[in-house]
Structure 1
């Protein structure tokens, strides 16, 4: 299939969420090899550990590795293609009157989808390098500073966009609370959280105390910014929705809390693991499980509330399987990915940690069954939305996505 040469609907920065979703789905396939393959002495699997597991493992292990790597490759390629497609559209769009209008209203926060997606790109690149490049893990301590620099640059870009928005609405006005009848402004703080979780990766995985501390400080800064403004924007959004009713087109933003909690939770998990591994601050298994279970419960609450609202508003019938088009529909992909990823942490770092189940036991696979279904449904919706909003022609299965000119 090929990407259209003219967007089927007016372009806006929310189309970057398509690339974000593809990157998230690549990460979801990484979860299988992260938790189910042996990689003793390393925090994540690498090319060498996967080769050893494939050569010595059972047929089931070989199938797991092969399917996971295939999924990582497919969605990483889609992520890059959609990223290129978006930047080609964005560079033309930002000169238009529509772009100038967006910068004067509530929708200016949509621009934060760009640093949000770029942060995901760094994560995807790190995964690709770890599992496909032989010997890369041997020099990983030299790569962590480069990753921190990349997230710092993305963070500066995000802060500039956010400062432009906040300074405008606080000094010049122009923010309409009646039109803020969704959680769309949460997109901006989601970007901060994604940058924070990026910093936390080097924090947890590096054995260099300086690298770990620098990453810890960077993660702390962006997580604090994310949580503080999330509290403000959630109150504003719910107040407006209750007074003016939720905007039918943007009700999926109720689910943005799910990926927000996932990235914040993983960042905190990594930071506490860094304190344990590098600085001797022990973290009890029971405390670890309690944190993960509590955050997962928050995700389920918002998942149920959001589903009830979207069902009552007939969102799925109109914007997913129906004729209505909205780039914001790609907001649906992140919650599915995020719930899947965080449930992996709950099962493997939480439930296994306190000893209530064993890896590869019947209970273990029963716990994973709904996650596989969730992942499959998320992939289905991703391709459904991509076909509806971006792809206009379908060729044979061997054709590649071609970026628009």
Structure 2
């Protein structure tokens, strides 16, 4: 177990550098590591139950690290200020991309619940994948660059909230007595009420308890202790959300949002960066471990069709409203920047997959993994070409979006 964890950690670091040179997101390499372990087990039985349990634990901690960083990198006050413009693009984009994803999955032949999982997963985006071309072009601080970040952050948050609703109603949808929409609505309303109460508690903590806590940490604790305390509290909040019937992802996102106003020395603490770099790859390695080799061939066709749906849903759903509120000539590049699906999309599929193959069949799991790999690998080059073909705003090295950009 120790040998595998140590070896996988070193391999993840090597592949991260290799992917950076090839201009691929590192998650591509991480998923391939997991798939390699899965295939190796068929030859040499290295993934016994104890080892698999250790990797599952590390994957869960990686999930918490990923979503905590998403929340930590968000700026709720800035999002509220930008909401009138960004919300038009965000709302239409979510509706169109989710609808296209759902009906594409139904057309492929998936049942209603797996199709809902695909639709919800395809509402999310991953701005971290499309971000390097914006940074290289010096356009991240421009009006369109800020709009991309705002819409992507709203996509992330709404994707996790939609996931919470989906996970809450899946037991009702799969009860075996047909779809009782009255029960679904009642369950959804109860879940929304609980989620609102949980969010209110997080707001109270962030508004009145977090500021004196972080001031005390900055004054009385040195690195890495202060960031470890923040991470420990975030883990407790994530676990509490899981115990209340939500998921670890919901709790970790809200925990990150609670500390999003913390001083920069908290955000940029090297202790957290090291912890994040160690844990986050294991979530994607876990995805590779869950891929069924026998289902990969069947996933090629479904993955290709869902890839088309993923691209068209975001491009159409984002470009049309962007023509109304975005700077002239920037609608297409903003829309293409929303195409990548990575951490949030796979978190949704992974969490729904815990309900069994009836909810997320191996073919759908493999198909969504293919969508993630393809959109993450191809989008940056397209965004780079589109940015090169249009004038961009000046760089903003110290602007308010830098924490979000760190994702």
What is the TM-score normalised by the length of structure 2? 0.30
Higher relative contact order (CA 8 A, sep 6+): 2
What is the TM-score normalised by the length of structure 1? 0.30
